[in-house]
Structure 1
């Protein structure tokens, strides 16, 4: 199950990558995002829950928010909110689609971790004031330079391996 990330659906596979314009000669041989941005989030433990689809999506979203705001908006988003509420085609700790997680985050949003701590939650506070949303997800080409440029310019990226049985 790739730690909980399910294969992309046909619509996602047909998504055309955006065009990035950069000079490949300007790409450094090494780059550490933690050196450029000191507010990059720490790796979180998803335990035995197969929910990399939720944890990775929110980690990238909160890092990019912190980067875009120049460190003025640093928040830890609640994977439990996404696991418990994003049910359309998702299987919580038994796997999910990153594309659907991004779509949920764009259309509905999630609360900070302190509002719904990560655990098996049974009920949520009804007076949520803060919902964090994002712009639509986009795809970049699988070229190494494109991934490097995106990472250096906008922050962490989410990658998936697609295996095909021949």
Structure 2
């Protein structure tokens, strides 16, 4: 199918035929991954409400400068060919949790608080297992976000260090101090849901108190968790793997292209004609090798109907679109 006609079809019509043709087109262009339908909406609508909103390189915005941190490495540590943090720390169920950001471009907040949750569990030797609230971060870190139109992930980590973040689970979970306020949307696989395009994303008002439906035993001030000063992980494959093995999952930034919304399985590489859409935040929980190609195992925040149960594989040191230069984290204060 002619790419210009395909683009016109995707942008201006809602026909399922157009979406099916795009999936067929993607699968015909490459063999490293499989495309399929993930959302009950057109590409134009998906792009509007599922853009990552990460503003790391946008508009020269003044962000916090972080130090690069490397493990002192005598090269005697043998790195396994495959590693999955879900197996290494199976008592930390937060590692495999897949969020749904809904109609709010909040991947920056969900990825960061997910890594914070994982690391608190790991560094406490499973004795403390909170779910750090992306909602508290979105609502109260004024310098971090641009309403529901994205945010600055690095500032999220600095906010954790300086102000602390309380606990809180997914939409209407009423677990922790502050639950997420944006409902899930755009599910497929026969799930009844609502279109993201029918919703308005909400950042909610910042208030230094727990939700009315939160457990009565919680108070905002006593529920705050803090982290040490955040840092970039030295931008090499070995250092990132050592960081994950020693301290837990890490937060990574990467570029999102139009075909990524249709990812189902395999090693994702943008097809030649894919349109750049935005930057995204996600969590790296491990690595592996497929067809002799090394990959990072990553958790997205577009619900479990997207991708491989909400996860995806990104090639290590991908030539045109590397993510190794923007990997960061912090050690929790316990």
TM-score bucket (shorter structure):
0.7 to 0.9
Deviation, 1:142, is 1.5
Q: Distance in 2 between matches of 1:11 and 1:115?
A: 28
TM-score normalised per structure 2: 0.45
Query: 2:138·2:144 contact (CA, 8 Å) conserved in 1?
Result: no
Q: Distance in 2 between matches of 1:4 and 1:75?
A: 26
Other-structure match for 2:146: 91
Deviates more, 1:149-158 or 1:86-95: 86-95
Bigger RCO (CA 8 Å, 6+ sep) = 1
Q: Distance in 2 between matches of 1:5 and 1:70?
A: 32
Q: Distance in 2 between matches of 1:59 and 1:140?
A: 17
- Could you tell me which of 104, 114, 117 is aligned with 2:179? 117
Q: Which has the higher strand share?
A: 2
Unpaired runs of at least 5, structure 2: 1-49, 169-175, 182-201, 211-218, 256-278, 280-334
SS in 2 for 1:106: helix
Q: Distance in 2 between matches of 1:92 and 1:71?
A: 35
Query: 2:136·2:165 contact (CA, 8 Å) conserved in 1?
Result: yes
Q: 1:25 to 1:107 in 2, by over 3 A?
A: closer
Q: 1:10 to 1:80 in 2, by over 3 A?
A: closer
Deviation, 1:84, is 0.7
Other-structure match for 1:130: 223
Q: 1:2 to 1:157 in 2, by over 3 A?
A: farther
Q: Distance in 2 between matches of 1:52 and 1:89?
A: 12
TM-score normalised per structure 1: 0.86
Q: Distance in 2 between matches of 1:24 and 1:159?
A: 26
Deviation, 1:78, is 1.2
Q: Distance in 2 between matches of 1:30 and 1:91?
A: 38
Query: 1:24·1:145 contact (CA, 8 Å) conserved in 2?
Result: no
Q: Distance in 1 between matches of 2:77 and 2:167?
A: 40
Q: Which has the higher helix share?
A: 1
Q: Distance in 2 between matches of 1:10 and 1:109?
A: 21
Superposition pairs for residues 37-56 of structure 1, below 5 Å?
A: 37-38=89-90, 39-41=92-94, 42-56=97-111
- Could you tell me which of 57, 60, 70 is aligned with 1:19? 70
